[in-house]
Amino acid sequence: MDEQSVGPRIVHLVSGEDIIGTVYPIVGGYKIADPISVALTPAPDGRGVRISIVPLRPYAKEIDSMVISEDHVIFMAELSEQMLSSYKAYTSNIVIPEAPALSSLLS
C-alpha cells in the first residue's frame, strides 16, 4: 500500500520546535519528507520578525525524511500560502528567478 501524504504541514513538537515538511501518517507516528526548520529574527527596523527557511540540521548531511512518534507531536497546521510557496521553492530543484521591481520596468 502506498503512503498517502496529508501535504506540507507545520509539525509542532513537545520540545517547542517547529518542523515543516510533507507529512505521511504511519502507525504510531508520522514520516516527514523534506523536513526544514524556520528561523525567526528581529526585523531590521525593530518592528516584527523576519522568517527564514533553514535546513533542519545545517551541520549534517541533507536529511531526506524522518520519523516522529505521535507522542512527540502537540499539533499540526497547514502552511500559509506564502510559507507554502517558499517551502515548495526551497525543496524544489527548479530555480525560480526573482521578478524585477516594477520601478525598473518603467525606466
**Looking at residue 103, what is its pLDDT?**
47
- Phi and psi at residue 84, to the nearest 5°: -60, -45
**Looking at residue 54, what is its pLDDT?**
87
| Single pTM value for the model | 0.77
**Looking at residue 67, what is its pLDDT?**
95
**Looking at residue 79, what is its pLDDT?**
94
Quick one: cell of 20?
515543516
E strand segments, 2-48: 7-13, 18-26, 29-42
**Looking at residue 39, what is its pLDDT?**
86
Q: Digits of tens for pLDDT over the chain (107 positions)?
A: 357 999 999 999 999 999 999 999 999 999 999 999 988 888 888 888 888 888 888 788 888 999 999 999 999 999 999 899 889 988 887 665 665 554 454 44
* HSE (side-chain half, CA atoms, 13 Å) at 82: 3
The CA angle 29-2-83, to the nearest 5 degrees, is 60
**Looking at residue 49, what is its pLDDT?**
85
